[in-house]
């Protein structure tokens, strides 16, 4: 490996420690900890692991968390009622609905039912709209995590050409909005690529900073990368043999890149740390609004 490995696990621990300190101050001021409510519908094993990891991170930072685990047959109406209860519960600061939801539930309707002031995943159209208009409030956790990795690793995005492969509303698109913002920790020139992009390899090779959010194991190979580029791998793919790999072929890419994130241990832990940060921010905002 010649590239500098950007250690998301270490950076996430750093952020959690900072949050834990602020949580103590919040607790002194209010007599309670910020509180995240997670809603999990069904028994998707990956979702169960994600929720468990998120709650474990809450515990480490002394953020309170509760889990509402509903059966896979839960109707849309019942789920909407549950969200409404959490919206009006003054002890709950943040609401996280773990995606994907079962097919019979309209995901958009559920996300839109979350109080935007408690939308710590940043997926409500109001929060995405604020991000699009350059006034971010709650930024989706994975894009926010990618930005934090870059900032904390002193990788300058100002004027840099960032190429993002993937345009999902969870990762690629909000990340493009975030990094193209007029701001000291952004100011990038951003290209978004997707499955219809012509000459993908040409775009990828022009990246100063390449972000892969594709969902295809080891899709980006070393020869596609510009020498010295920073490579951020968002992908989490489980192979048949049980191994977890990213969207970038790490060994090859690390020979060419200047800096690179690994999978696991890169973007994943940062996503969770930023969820805690959004929860703390939501708690503070609600306190100020009282």
Ligand X SMILES: NC(=O)c1ccc[n+]([C@@H]2O[C@H](COP(=O)([O-])OP(=O)(O)OC[C@H]3O[C@@H](n4cnc5c(N)ncnc54)[C@H](OP(=O)(O)O)[C@@H]3O)[C@@H](O)[C@H]2O)c1
Q: How far is the CB of 8 from ligand X (least distance, A)?
A: 9
Residues 11, 152 contacting (CB under 8 angstroms): yes
Written as six digits, the tokens of 121 are 């995943």
Q: Confirm whether 60 is a catalytic residue.
A: no
Pairwise CA distance, residues 91 & 33, whole Å: 9
Query: Which residue in 93, 98, 233, 277 is the catalytic one?
Result: 98
Pairwise CA distance, residues 85 & 94, whole Å: 13
Among 34, 136, 143, 235, binds ligand X (CB under 6 A): 235
Applying CB under 6 A, the span of 68-76, 82-90, 160-168, 276-284 interacting with ligand X comes to 160-168
Applying CB under 6 A, the span of 77-85, 175-183, 208-216, 274-282 interacting with ligand X comes to 208-216
* Contacts to ligand X from residues 255-274, by CB under 6 A: 267-268, 271
At 144, is the secondary structure helix, strand, or coil? helix
Pairwise CA distance, residues 206 & 176, whole Å: 16
Dihedral of CA atoms 76, 79, 81, 83 in degrees, nearest 10, equals: -130
Burial of 2: CB neighbours in 10 Å, binned 0-12, 13-18, 19+: exposed
Indicate the residue among 160 and 170 with the shorter CB distance to ligand X: 170
Indicate the residue among 98 and 117 with the shorter CB distance to ligand X: 98
Pairwise CA distance, residues 125 & 110, whole Å: 12
Is residue 99 a contact point for ligand X (CB under 6 A)?
A: no
CA terminus-to-terminus distance, the chain? 52
Is residue 237 a contact point for ligand X (CB under 6 A)?
A: yes
* Contacts to ligand X from residues 120-149, by CB under 6 A: 142
Query: Which residue in 115, 119, 121, 208 is the catalytic one?
Result: 121
Written as six digits, the tokens of 184 are 């000291």
| Residue with the shortest CB distance to ligand X | 168
Among 214, 224, 254, 256, binds ligand X (CB under 6 A): 214
Pairwise CA distance, residues 53 & 57, whole Å: 6
Applying CB under 6 A, the span of 16-24, 35-43, 123-131, 232-240 interacting with ligand X comes to 232-240
For residue 171, the 8-state DSSP code is T
Q: How far is the CB of 90 from ligand X (least distance, A)?
A: 30
Is residue 170 a contact point for ligand X (CB under 6 A)?
A: yes
Active site residues: 54, 98, 121
Query: Where along the sequence are the contacts to ligand X (CB under 6 A)?
Result: 142, 165-168, 170-172, 193-197, 200, 213-216, 234-237, 267-268, 271
């Amino acid at each position: 490996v010649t590239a500098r490995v950007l250690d998301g696990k270490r950076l996430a621990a750093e952020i959690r420690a900072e949050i834990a300190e602020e949580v103590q101050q919040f607790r002194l001021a209010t007599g309670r900890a910020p509180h995240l409510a997670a809603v999990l519908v069904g028994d998707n094993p990956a979702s169960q692991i994600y929720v468990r990891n998120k709650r474990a991170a809450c515990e480490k930072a002394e953020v309170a968390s509760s889990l509402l685990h509903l059966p896979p047959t839960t109707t849309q109406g019942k789920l909407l009622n549950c969200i409404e209860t959490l919206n009006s519960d003054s002890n709950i600061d943040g609401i996280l609905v773990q995606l994907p939801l079962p097919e019979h539930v309209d995901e958009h309707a559920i996300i839109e039912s979350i109080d935007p002031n408690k939308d710590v995943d940043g997926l409500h159209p109001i929060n995405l709209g604020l991000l699009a208009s350059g006034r971010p409030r709650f930024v989706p956790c994975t894009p926010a995590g990618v930005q934090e990795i870059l900032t904390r690793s002193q990788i300058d995005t100002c004027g840099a050409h960032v190429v993002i492969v993937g345009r999902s509303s969870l990762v690629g698109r909000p990340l493009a909005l975030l990094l193209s913002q007029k701001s000291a920790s952004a100011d990038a020139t951003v290209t978004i690529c997707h499955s219809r992009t012509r000459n993908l390899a040409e775009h990828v090779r022009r990246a100063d900073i390449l972000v892969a959010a594709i969902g295809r194991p080891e899709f980006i190979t070393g020869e596609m990368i510009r020498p010295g580029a920073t490579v951020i791998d968002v992908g989490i793919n489980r192979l048949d043999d049980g191994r977890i790999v990213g969207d970038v072929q790490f060994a090859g890419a690390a020979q060419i890149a200047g800096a690179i994130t690994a999978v696991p241990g890169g973007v994943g832990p940062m996503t969770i740390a930023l969820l805690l940060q959004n929860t703390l921010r939501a708690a503070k905002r609600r306190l100020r609004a009282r």
